[in-house]
Chains A and B, each alone.
Chain A
Amino acid sequence: MTEDGIRCDGRRLDELRNISIKVGVLKNADGSAYIEFGKNKILAGVFGPRDVHPKHMANPDSGILRCRYHMSPFSVTERKNPAPSRREIEISKVIKEALQPAVILKDYPRTVIDVFIEVLQADGGSRCAALDAAAVALADAGIPMRDLVSACAAGKVADRIVLDVNNEEDQEGQADMPVALMPNIGKVTLLQLDGMLKPEEFKTCMQTALVGCKRVYEVQRKALMEKYFQNGEQ
């Protein structure tokens, strides 16, 4: 990072990578989205509500949410074993738990909503990008939601708080903190921290990440509007 705060990829401290989202890209899914978050390229597909298999998982009071985050073997420089790794299992779990407060599952007892996330190309911050795509895909599937979920990371690189940490900064940096937010309700659904921050650093880091989430939300909103209303805002 340079003296005046220009980062390794030319961004300012509080600048996001380029984000673009396409809605409804998978024909056979009930809802889907494709996100390009910097160099991350991620597909998310939502199937359901549908019958639960195995049946013992079904909940008679409400629907259940299942989530699978998977990285393609070619998504990273060194071939990744396609079997689910410890990291992927963890990310599947945190994404599921970040989406669960937003999805109104009570309306669909004895059913399941499956979210499949496939990372085609990874470049740091893929769990946030995956979550952004998954939220849009859920909305595309018409599943009732209290709010969209927008996620963005912030971190500490070269003793400075930066927004949206990329892979290189993640490797060299001191901290990486992914945050997911329901922007209209103003509730945080995911908060992880890898590294160490002082209490005051944590506060600025959190603020930075929340600002990032709100900017991501605008992109998500635009993508949905484009799909359903051809951007014809009334």
Chain B
Amino acid sequence: MMDVKRRYVIPGDVIATGPLRPEQNVYQDGDRMISTCVGISEIFENSVKVIPLTGGYMPKTNDLVIGKVIGTSPLSWEFDINSCFVGFLPAQDVFGRDYSPTKDELRQRLDIGDLVATRIANFDRSRDPLLTVQDRDLGKIESGELVEISPSKVPRLIGKRGSMIQTIEMATKAIITIGQNGWIVISCDDSEGLLKAVEAVKMIDALAHTPNLTERVKSMLGVPDGENNDTIND
């Protein structure tokens, strides 16, 4: 593993000085690198970043998010994507190019309150995020349990190369869909596995900043040590 220096920081903390590149949640003041949020700072060879521990979801192009339909207009659906912006899904994306507002009824496909796995097709500062369901694994979610966690903890839930999520999926036989916006849908045929998976996700949300989390999740799920040896403890 690369030599990475980690430290707990709050806004205003000077993480490092010198010729470094400020990345996420860091800004440059002269030659000082200053954190802009509460989180864990990481100093790499030539860049600095802070992993936030709090805060809402900021849409990013290509993110998979889980959205809830909150309304329709003649040409699009409006989605709550757990962000300060409302997501838009154009009707043509679902009905195809020959969509006509007089012929097709939007509510018949996706009604208010439905959960949908979508991808952010486009987002910039001047417009609300544009969503799409034109991909594999995207579309309406028919069943499962919705768990909300803090969006800043999603990377932790996934783990290095997906190690954490694989551990949970294998131990509980559940299928977990993770939205980058902190909404997670867990479905499982067996109710005990479902409960365990929900518990594991909630535990990660609560203990995201602590080290050796994979180990703790494993012992909670009753996975013997030694399995999944390729996972890296962070």
Contact = CB atoms under 8 A, between A and B. Distances in A.
Nearest to B150: A142
23 contacts: A49-B56, A49-B84, A102-B11, A104-B27, A108-B84, A111-B84, A141-B54, A142-B38, A142-B52, A145-B11, A145-B12, A145-B37, A146-B29, A147-B11, A148-B11, A184-B12, A185-B29, A185-B34, A221-B10, A224-B38, A225-B10, A228-B8, A228-B38
Given A108-B84, A142-B52, A148 B152 contact: no
Given A107-B58, A185-B29, A228-B209, A148 B37 contact: no
Q: Give the top 7 A-B pairs by smallest Cβ distance, nearest first.
A: A142-B55, A147-B12, A142-B54, A145-B11, A144-B36, A184-B12, A49-B84
A147 B34 contact: yes
Main secondary structure of the interface of B (DSSP, over half): loop
Interface of A: 30-31, 48-51, 60, 102, 104, 107-111, 139-148, 182-185, 221, 224-225, 228-229, 232-234
B109 interface: no
B53 interface: yes
A2 to B, nearest CB: 38
Contacts, number: 83
A234 B7 contact: yes
Interface in B1-58: 6-8, 10-14, 25, 27, 29, 34, 36-38, 52-56, 58
Contact of A48 (B25, B84, B85): B84
Main secondary structure of the interface of A (DSSP, over half): loop
Interface residues of B, number: 28
Interface string B78-97: 00000011100000000000
Interface in B59-87: 84-86
Contacts of A148: 10-12
B108 interface: no
B8 A233 contact: yes
Given A49-B56, A142-B55, 11 more contacts: A30-B56, A107-B58, A108-B84, A109-B126, A139-B38, A145-B11, A146-B12, A146-B27, A183-B12, A185-B29, A229-B209
B161 interface: no
A139 B37 contact: yes
A51 B128 CA distance: 11
A50 B56 CA distance: 10
Contact of B54 (A108, A140, A184): A140
B25 A144 contact: yes
Contacts of A232: 8
B103 interface: no
Contacts of B55: 141-143
A60 B84 contact: no
Given A139-B38, A145-B11, A228 B53 contact: yes
A64 to B, nearest CB: 12
Interface string B109-127: 0000000000000000110
Contacts of B38: 139-140, 142, 224, 228
A32 to B, nearest CB: 12
Nearest to A221: B10
B122 to A, nearest CB: 15
B77 to A, nearest CB: 17
A141 B54 CA distance: 6
A143 to B, nearest CB: 7
